[in-house]
Homo-oligomer: A and B are copies of this chain.
Amino acid sequence: MAVEAGRVFVYGGKGALGSACVSLFKSNKWWVGSIDMKSNEEADGNVIVKSDQSWTEQQEDILAQVTKILNGNKVDGIICVAGGWAGGNAANKDFTKNSDLMWKQSVWSSVIAASIASQHLKEGGFLSLTGAKAALEGTPGMIGYGMAKAAVHQLTKSLAAEESGLPSGSLVASILPVTLDTPMNRKWMPKADTSTWTPLEFISNLIWKWAQKEERPANGSLLQLVTKDNKTEVIPA
């Protein structure tokens, strides 16, 4: 087995943004593990998420798979880009159903990623989570989504604080996108102004720098990704 430049897990590694991260780290000779409901064939190892499990079952199952795959090695980073979107206000017939789905997609994954970090991240490693700029304020038209992302924001602050259970010197930061430039978003919003959408490569390159221990933001940062005229700025909240 060749010596890898580094090791990273991508939670949501089969999604659009996750796949971009897997590709970038692979092209730089890192060992890459993917955690998702389906395998990412480009990854060196795949942890399969079973959606019919409870949160605790899912965490135990994923941790067992991660521990087996790592075989005693530690990782330099964990990138959690799992998530999803659903709308609806308090009068929507699917209010609780969608709130439940948003919680599972964004918070279960983030918490399990933090749990992996507590056991398998190197000292000085990084954990990136995915929030949402919109959830810094009220989100009446997508209440479940806003609650889940607000929870991820607060989790980021907790994990960055002393005695959070992460290894010493860890960096924890969340990216807070507005809209990502993904094939699915292009499909569902064919008439939107894509010059305000954030390219996936911008995000994978941003996190790649953290992996190099370059341009790391302050621990606990909530980083708004604001794209205008196809140019993206990183604005700490």
Which residues of A pack against B, CB within 8 Å?
54-56, 58-59, 89-92, 95-97, 99-100, 103, 107-108, 111-112, 114-115, 117-119, 135, 137-141, 143-144, 146-166, 220
Closest B residue by C-beta to A139: B158
As for how many copies of this chain the complex holds, the number is: 2
How far is it, in angstroms, between the C-alpha of A153 and the C-alpha of B89 when the chains are bound? 16
How far is it, in angstroms, between the C-alpha of A173 and the C-alpha of B104 when the chains are bound? 26
Q: Is the CB of A138 within 8 A of B220?
A: yes
Taking a contact as CB atoms closer than 8 A, the residue among B90, B100, B158 that contacts A146 in the complex is: B158
How far is it, in angstroms, between the C-alpha of A92 and the C-alpha of B140 when the chains are bound? 34
Q: Is the CB of A165 within 8 A of B96?
A: no
Q: Is the CB of A115 within 8 A of B95?
A: yes
Q: Is the CB of A164 within 8 A of B89?
A: yes
How far is it, in angstroms, between the C-alpha of A6 and the C-alpha of B210 when the chains are bound? 58
Given contacts A135-B154, A151-B147, contact A165 B89 (CB under 8 A): yes
Across chains A and B, which 8 residue pairs bring their CB atoms closest together, nearest first? Answer: A91-B165, A138-B157, A150-B154, A90-B165, A89-B165, A140-B161, A140-B164, A147-B151
Given contacts A96-B59, A162-B140, A165-B140, contact A90 B114 (CB under 8 A): yes
Q: Is the CB of A154 within 8 A of B146?
A: yes
Taking a contact as CB atoms closer than 8 A, the residue among B91, B139, B147, B149 that contacts A107 in the complex is: B147
Taking a contact as CB atoms closer than 8 A, the residue among B55, B152, B155 that contacts A100 in the complex is: B55
CB distance from A93 to the nearest CB of B (A): 10
CB distance from A66 to the nearest CB of B (A): 14
CB distance from A139 to the nearest CB of B (A): 5
A90-B165, A147-B155 are known contacts; what are 9 more A-B pairs with Cβ within 8 Å?
A55-B100, A59-B96, A95-B114, A95-B118, A96-B112, A99-B111, A103-B103, A111-B147, A143-B158
Given contacts A100-B55, A138-B160, A140-B159, contact A92 B165 (CB under 8 A): yes
